[in-house]
Chains A and B, each alone.
Chain A
Amino acid sequence: MSTVAWARRRRALRQGIAEYRRDREGLVGIVVLGLFVLVACSASLLAEAENLRAITADERDYPRWASPGELGPLGTDSLGRPVWDQLVYGSQVSLLVGVAATLIAIVIGTVVGVVGGFFGGWADAALARLTEWFLVIPFLPLAIVLAAVLGPSLRNIVLVIGITSWPVTARLIRSQVLTIKERLYVERARALGASGAHILGRHVLPSVMPLVIANATLTVPVAILSETALAFLGLGDPTRVSWGSMLEDSFSAGALGREAWWWYLPPGLCVIAVVLSFTLVGRALEGVLDPRLRDVHAVGR
């Protein structure tokens, strides 16, 4: 009979995919996102890493401030580096930071939320206080201080963003755990003789996971924006090009005054596109996976 159960799960998955495909915005999101991931993965084929180095002009014969018509698809910057190559390699940093920082935030947030919500008592009180504390402190000042203390490197940027963006997740997961804990089927499991670990593993976590996944896709764009902001403030990794650092470079080199739109517009648009598509995917996933929404569909007649 368990094979039957697996067949049912596969069918549920297929149903989920079918439901996702009905969401047009979600489809657009996933297509755009796929393109960016493809670009990031095949960066070495699409662009030359050599072109990213800030070297003197005599080693290379690219003109400075070249417009798209003059050189390459997107022209060059104030140091004669082609914008296209920066943009392609920048996607790696943005996606990497976004995903890695989200992973940290989600893990911390889920653990804090589940532990607090499920066990309650003083642990919950302490964790709730900590969560509130992190929520109340404005993100940027805290991130700036942390980044300054830890020093500018890609790893530290990920860490800084990760440990500042978990509280929202923690609160969401905690409230979900609290409602699940009160469900009658949890009481039934307890009446069957179940331990806390069983209830956590069999009932609470499976019900929370869809929410975690949907929430993760919604945290990625926040992380990407944070990276952009930190890099724009000059707190990014100086050895790596990211969309945020491109914006910062163009701004400080006076690209706005020179109307060198080909330098600052592409990274800006890319940030918007990635952030938007993650949000669209997250919302579509929420609709498919959120147990509250699903329960309503299942029970309603």
Chain B
Amino acid sequence: MHVEKLTCALGAEISGIKLAEVGRNDDLAGEVNELLIKHKVLFFREQEISDAEHAAFARRFGELEDHPLASSADSEPGIIHIWKSPESPPERYENSWHTDAAWRERPPMGAVLRCVECPPVGGDTMWANMELAYEQLPDHIKEDIADLRARHSMEATFMAAKPADERLAMKERFPDPEHPVVRTHPVTGRKCLYTGGFITHFTNYHTAKRVRVGQDWHPGAANLLQYLISQSAIPEYQIRWRWTPGSVAVWDNRCTQHYAVMDYPPCIRRMNRATIIGDRPY
């Protein structure tokens, strides 16, 4: 197995390894798990694997979950399709900096994304290291956000364009959870900035310490939220990955955000994702 670091911030390309084999081999799976914790996102090229092998590899990290809106592979529970073509509705959910399914009480710990088909150029994916983003914050901001919590919402994002009854029914199924703005990694204990595109507002900002007059709250809270959200746009924290059919990315969804660059329409881009169940952020 050969490991090549791809940027100073995060990401490593692993070669000389077959993911189908990792799915069957405890030792290899342990090594890949350690590399994932270390590099936060791992890349593999030329992995010709079936949906079943894809799912088996992903299950080395935990059980899988489906997505309430995305279509799934018929034969393999846990493998969802993120397929775009000229006929796809003009939805734009992936090209926002986000951590997957932060709208769940227990967002996924990670995901395994495999490129089935992609345009010859375009459709890259970017990741940002949110531990680094937290570390580099000025001390006074760290102090200010230490106890802050925020609401995340599927209703306000994926469901916004749907009729009100469907939207509210989905909100019943997935009530908007509240998560800490600074999250602690359950394995490493390191802190990261836990914001992302599903966030709607801070839930406990309006305290006497922070709000002297109305404008400290509005726009004050929104200004701080915007500042925190904009941290993922800092190039020093990012990696940009160019796909080829058969390449695979595995990421730690607890301490990274990602962004699928939507520059390829009207081309076809077909990605299969296995999403690994995670725990409640703290």
Q: Do A and B bind?
A: no
